[in-house]
Structure 1
Amino acid sequence: MAIDFVVSSNVALVSQLSQSKNLNILASVLGVVLGLIAHLGFFIRGEWHVLAPQIFVSHSLLFISLSAGTIFCHSSGVGQLWAAGLITSSCYLAALLTSILVYRIWFHPLTRAGFKGPFYLSTSKICHVWECRWSLNHVFLDGLHKKYGDFIRTGPNEITIYHPDVFVATDGPKTECTKSEWYDLLFPDSSLLTTRDRVLHDIRRKEWKECFSPKALAFHFQKSVAQVAILDKVLAANAEAGKPCDMRDLFYWLGFDIMGDFIFNKSFDMLVTQEWHHMVIGLQRALSLLGPTNPAPWLIQLAFHVFPRIYQIGDWFRMTAWCYDQIGTRLEDGFEKQPTPDLVHYLLEKSDAPRTADSVNRMRGDSLNAIVAGSEPIPIILIALFAELAKKPEYIEAVYQEMVDVDILDTKVLSQLPNLNAVIQETLRLYPVLPTAGTRKTGPNGVTIAGVFIPPYTTIVNPRYSIHRREDCFEQATEFIPERWTTRRDMVKNMAAYSPWGTAHHSCIARVMAIDVLRITTAQLIRKYRFRLAPGETGKRVLDDMKDQLAPNPGELTLMFELR
């Protein structure tokens, strides 16, 4: 009987193990099949970046719950089912990731087309994020250009194009290209900048045009002149005291004070207080998040919708909440309390269309758009311009001589001063306000650029930092030589390579206003002051320490001013 009991027990155990083994095999096969279906049937098609938070959370919860269930139920009768579920989910993830990698490495259209580039970048944008961990994407992409040429695969579905024809091909009037997934940055909110639909973008751009009519620009210019006058007082006090000036602080304060006045009819008053506004500090910290995450739009969505709202992420949401509060307060006050028209007036109050919740939400997005995209170019270009002028003072005197007997408060007069406009134009070439940002996506028919066909639905990066420095397009391309725009036009070999403000319907709608501010600021300071590099300052920190955070974040610059 004992022998029979042992035999029967062993048979039962073998049977149980056999059933468990069969169950695990079935679970493994099911997981692999589901992983392949998920990739080849779903994730390989369309865009998924906006759903990245839901995908991440659902997959994580499933895996965690199955792992926990397996641990807690291992000794019960249902333990095998939990274990089988864990095996299924593990095999699903393994098959999904393996299928994705195999497709990207051997079967992707960019692979079949033979585009060259670092192998690791073709597997995942996480690799690119790692390369951008110090926010030096412009330097990284420039290095790739030197090694691989004009067309480089820099992502699983991304081509970085350094050929000067890229601007017209992706933004010209006949293009089928659209804005890339990156522009869903504010999702579910939107703004003019982040609107990806071409028809809707054109409609919203027409609404914005009223903000930059000749009459509106005249109002904005007078506001800018008033802010430049405050900057003048600060510089005069420092000049009298023989005190060096931190131009990075001063020019950022100027840019944000002007944009605060433009958007809300309320300056940040940083030039008056000579202190950073808390919102601007938060914005600067928040933008540092975009430096490493820019290459992966899905990672931005995860950061904003899944990760805790602390550090830079917390700064971003505090900044957006502040902008929304300002819009609410401004709408409650109404136009009657405003000294001059502002952005809210032109986009909401002057419109014949009834004010709705959607229009107010769009205004919130547009205000955030204007603060981020509008405040950055002015200080960036001014810091770079004055660094270059201080290194080559002969250009300071050339600009001064042409404005001695003219009215610099006349925008038309400023637009006709060749040396003034040349130094600004040259600065915009060497220090573009979007060094690597502004990505596009090809349409259903793809696009051909310089004879190279780019497959449909491919993301295209057009790094202005590198294109503006092409030696075959600009003679002595890395040197600050304003004469290339005046007396030495032969130094510009290919004008198509110059696109500081974008092209056609995607060009910066506020570029006229920005150029007016650059002109009056530069003219006013050069007309009244001589300036030079402060002791120990070389002017090289502006570029050497520059970070690529959507817009550039230039290094420090210290100058000494004296009255003429």
Structure 2
Amino acid sequence: MAIDLGSYGLEVRTVRLNIISIVLGIGIGLYGHLGLFIHGEWHIQAPFIFLFHLILYSGLAAGTVASQYYGFDSKLWIAGLITSVSYLVTMLSSIFIYRVFFHRLTRAGFKGPFTMRVSKLFHVWSCRASGNHHLLGGLQKQYGDFIRTGPSEITIFHPDVFVATDGPRTECVKSEWYDLLFPESSLLTTRARDLHDARRRDWKECFGPQAQAHHFAKTVKHVEMLSDMIENQIEEANPSQMRDWFYWLGFDIMGDFVFSKSFNMLRDHEWHHMVIRLQRALSLLGPASPAPWLIQIAFRVAPRIGQIGDWFEMTSWTHKQISARLEAGGEKQSAPDLVHYLLEKSAEPRSAEGVRRMRGDSLNAIVAGSEPIPVVLLGIFAELARKPHHVELIYAELAERDITDTKVLSALPHLNAVIQEALRLYTVLPTAGSRKTGKNGVTIGGVFIPPYTTIVNPRYCIHRREDCFEQATEFIPERWTTRREMVRNVAAYSPWGTAHHSCIARVMAIDVLRITAAQLIKKYRFNLAPGETGHRVLEDMKDQLAPNPGHLALIFEKR
């Protein structure tokens, strides 16, 4: 039988080419993981990596199909496709094997859900419904205080975590999570320690005694508008929907603080369209925040529609406010708002870097300042409505006192204890704010955390530790005054952060909480509306960077 040597030789060359393609793909895949991606941080490059692979495989697949359809020689296209598939399969297999069997956290013996050890995508999927704070709380019951919740991530519930990661001697730095605003940045999201400290110094003048007095005077006006809304509801015999109103208060105050330009929601009795967009955007960012690289892909690759579009609409709005101030001669503005002080401190306010910083700082201030205020106020009034004897104790402190004096408010023990307890249970950062260990690692609670490991410190859960707070889930303000033995470990209490990473605006925020609670308690009595339990605030809360609490309906009456 005759053998077609030409055809046979062609088949041999094709097989040889395919084998070479597979071997080449395997080599590239191993190098891609072990020689490249296993080192350093890649979340910022995630959009480019995603697009590169998308274009590569789409091009090779299209070329292969087209060559066969038009009768061209398809061997090289097929070889390229085989190489690319071999590369991807090898690299993903290498990543899987390394994370499961050879990763430094595996060797150190840290336990956690198998799926989360493989990829943070499973974490994002798991917390989409119940929220990250509930998910992590459930994992703590199953695995203990040190849980591997990612390929290079440990979630730590031990009360020593705050000082270990943020204390004055720490080598820990902010994690990749803080690159949320990239390529812009803000004080909050600046990861480099020296640059963060320099920017924090620029902010300090905005929170000096004179500036604080001015901010407080503006805050009082907004609180009075809220009080007037409540009085109108009393006349109409309607329950007051406190969730909306406290959010309106928080955003109106922060708009005034940042731009001397309130959102005017208390005045107009409706949500500002930009605030609606921001909250819709946060509902997407919250569940995705465990995977910073996923947020980078969403922001820089995905179409700017839906919730992603909402985020960019909000950022564009803040950009326009900065541009308007600069065009109006913003550096000469006398209005002592945040932008005023940032312009004063900026050597070149109109430079690209100066504008970028002001944009990031203004957006940072609005989001970080507006979201915590309504959460804690809702917690305060939900708890006080269920336990009205605390209301009368505060009212007794307020009698015959000038509540528009911050020094007077700061000296009222029960009012401040109520606020302190609300900050414990209604945490302003339930799970956000992760850190990353340095080259020497860190020891927390006697457990060594290896170098370059992300550390999550879920305040929501740590603030509820029974070994740190007696009756930890109960609202008991006296634990901060007359029953201090109920605080078993004060290191577990960190509502505003620690040391140089503590919230720079915490004094201002506490002033807002004090004057709002004092004003409403001095003027009104209040109870839960029919059918209201006050539990929805926490039960319906969603963890989306800042917490998004449930509703609270109250019935007020004038004293």
RMSD of equivalent CA atoms: 1.3
Superposition pairs for residues 466-545 of structure 1, below 5 Å? 466-545=461-540
101, 105, 129: which one aligns with 2:96: 101
Contact 2:326 2:350 in 1 (8 A): no
Match of 2:43 in 1: 49
Contact preservation (8 Å) 1:219, 1:340:
no
CA distance in 1 between counterparts of 2:240 and 2:317 reads 30
Offset at residue 332 of structure 1 (A): 2.5
Q: TM-score, normalised by structure 2?
A: 0.98
Give the partner amino acid of 1:27: S
* Cα-to-partner distance string for 1:158-212 (whole Å, 9 max, x where unaligned): 0000000000000000000000001111111111011000000000000000000
Paired residue for 1:435? Answer: 430
Distance 1:296 1:344 in 2: 32
SS in 2 for 1:134: coil
Instruction: Look up the SS of the partner of 2:448 in the other structure.
Output: strand
Q: In structure 2, what is the equivalent of residue 302 of structure 1?
A: 297
SS at match of 1:522: helix
Q: Which residue of 2 aligns with 1:561?
A: 556
Q: Is 2:114 aligned against 1:145? A: no
Q: Which amino acid aligns with 1:60?
A: L
SS at match of 1:160: strand
| Number of equivalences | 558
Shift of 1:243: 1.0
Q: Is the aligned partner of 1:27 residue 2:14?
A: no
Q: CA deviation at 1:71?
A: 1.1
**Pair 1:220-2:220 in alignment:** no
Quote the Cα distance in structure 2 between the aligned partners of 1:352 and 1:26: 59
Query: Which amino acid is the alignment partner of residue 455 of structure 2?
Result: I
1:60-100 Cα deviation digits (max 9, x unpaired): 11011111111111364530110010000000000000000
Confirm whether residue 194 of structure 1 aligns to residue 189 of structure 2: yes
1:256 equivalent among 247, 251, 257: 251
Residue of structure 1 aligned with 2:126, choices 124, 127, 131:
131
| Counterpart Cα distance in 1 of 2:45 and 2:6 | 48
The aligned residue for residue 177 of structure 1 is 172
Structure 1 residues 162 and 228: alpha-carbon distance in aligned structure 2, compared to 1, 3 A threshold: same
Rounded Cα–Cα distance in structure 1 between residues aligned with 2:327 and 2:217: 25
CA distance in 2, matches of 1:509, 1:455: 30
Instruction: State the match for 2:33 in structure 1.
Output: 39
| CA displacement 1:292-323 (0-9 Å, x = unmatched) | 10100000000000111111000000000000
Specify the code of the residue in structure 1 equivalent to 2:155.
T
SS in 2 for 1:73: helix
Distance 1:147 1:390 in 2: 35
Q: Which residue of 2 aligns with 1:16?
A: 10
8 A contact 2:542–2:549 mirrored in 1: yes
**Partner-residue secondary structure (3-state), 1:313:** helix
Aligned to 1:367: 362
Unaligned runs of 5+ in 1: none
Q: Distance in 2 between matches of 1:528 and 1:184?
A: 44
Asked if the contact 1:469/1:477 (under 8 Å) is kept, the reply is yes
CA shift, 1:240, in A, is: 1.9
Q: Which runs of 5+ in 2 are unaligned?
A: none
Task: Quote the residue 1:67 is aligned against.
Answer: 61
Secondary structure of the residue aligned to 1:509 is coil
Partner SS for 1:561: strand
8 Å CA contact retained: 1:135, 1:291:
no
Tell me how far apart the structure 2 counterparts of residues 370 and 445 of structure 1 sit (CA, whole Å).
33
Summarize the alignment of residues 339-350 of structure 1 with structure 2, pairs less than 5 Å apart: 340-349=335-344
Most deviating of 516-525 and 393-402: 393-402
Give the Å deviation of 1:338: 6.0
Query: What's the secondary structure of 2:497's corresponding residue?
Result: coil
Shift of residue 22 of structure 1?
1.3
The structure 1 residue matched to 2:379, chosen from 381, 384, 396, is: 384
SS in 1 for 2:45: helix
What whole-Å deviation, never above 9, does each CA across 1:136-156 have from its counterpart, x for those lacking one? 100000011111111000000
Identity %: 69
Q: Matches of 2:440 and 2:332 in 1, distance apart?
A: 52
Trace 1:328-347 onto structure 2 (pairs within 5 A).
328-334=323-329, 340-347=335-342
TM-score in terms of structure 1 length: 0.97
Q: Measure how far apart 1:23 and its partner are.
A: 1.0
User: Which of 75, 86, 107 is equivalent to 1:91?
Assistant: 86
Give the whole-Å Cα distance in 2 for the aligned partners of 1:204 and 1:14. Answer: 72
1:309 and 1:353 map into 2 onto residues whose CA distance is 31
